[in-house]
Amino acid sequence: MDEYTKPLPVPDFDTKPFWEFCKAHELRVQRCARCGETRWPPQGLCPHCHCWDFEWAKLDGTGRIDAYVVVHHVILPAFSDDAPYVIAQILLDGCEDRVRITSNVIGCPWEEIKVGMRVRVAFDDVTPEFALPKFRPEP
């Protein structure tokens, strides 16, 4: 594996479990034990009912593009071979439109990306420690 030169996540107390699930190719978000609401990004207490108890709910990894940009002018040299590339906000299924995760859409020419397009998570094992959740259009 070539050395990975792009920025990597910096897990903290709240996000470390999320990245560990990604490494196992599972997309999970926190679900409140009291009110049942999902939330993003990972955080200690429920923003809806202020309960500290939660579970890591396993999602099926599908969703739809809610917004996107196409990057043509690259700032960080590590991304220069990728341009043009797509950064999108994905509304994840199973979260009542409350979880909007920012990621890349891959496996599709940028000209074909549309708001509302159905996508599915595709984990990119970039290092032995990290798998990044990216998204591909559903067939």
Which is closer to Zn ion, CB of 95 or CB of 122? 95
DSSP assignment of 34-85 equals TT--EESS--SS-TTT----EEEEEP-SEEEEEEEEEE-S-SSGGGTTT-SE
Task: Give the interface segment with Zn ion, choosing from 21-29, 40-48, 57-65, 104-112 (CB under 5 A).
Answer: 40-48
Of 51, 67, 87, 115, which one interacts with Zn ion (CB under 5 A)?
51
- Name residue 101's beta-bridge partners: 90
Looking at residues 3 to 32 of the shown chain, list those that interact with Zn ion (rule: CB under 5 A): 32
Q: Does 87 bind Zn ion (CB under 5 A)?
A: no
- Determine the Cα–Cα distance for residues 20 and 22; give it in Å rounded to an integer: 5
What are 58's two structure tokens? Answer: 């396993």
Nearer to Zn ion, 9 or 36 (CB): 36
33 contacts Zn ion (rule: CB under 5 A): no
In the bound state with Zn ion, the residue whose beta carbon lies nearer, of 46 and 122, is 46
Q: Quick one: 25 or 34, whose CB is closer to Zn ion?
A: 34
* Sheet with 54-58: strands ordered across: 38-39, 28-32, 54-58
Is residue 30 within 8 Å of 61, Cβ to Cβ?
no
Least Cβ distance, residue 50 to Zn ion (angstroms): 7
- Binding test (CB under 5 A) with Zn ion, winner from 6, 16, 25, 35: 35
Candidates 9, 11, 23, 48; binder of Zn ion (CB under 5 A) is 48
Of 100-129, binders to Zn ion (CB under 5 A) are none
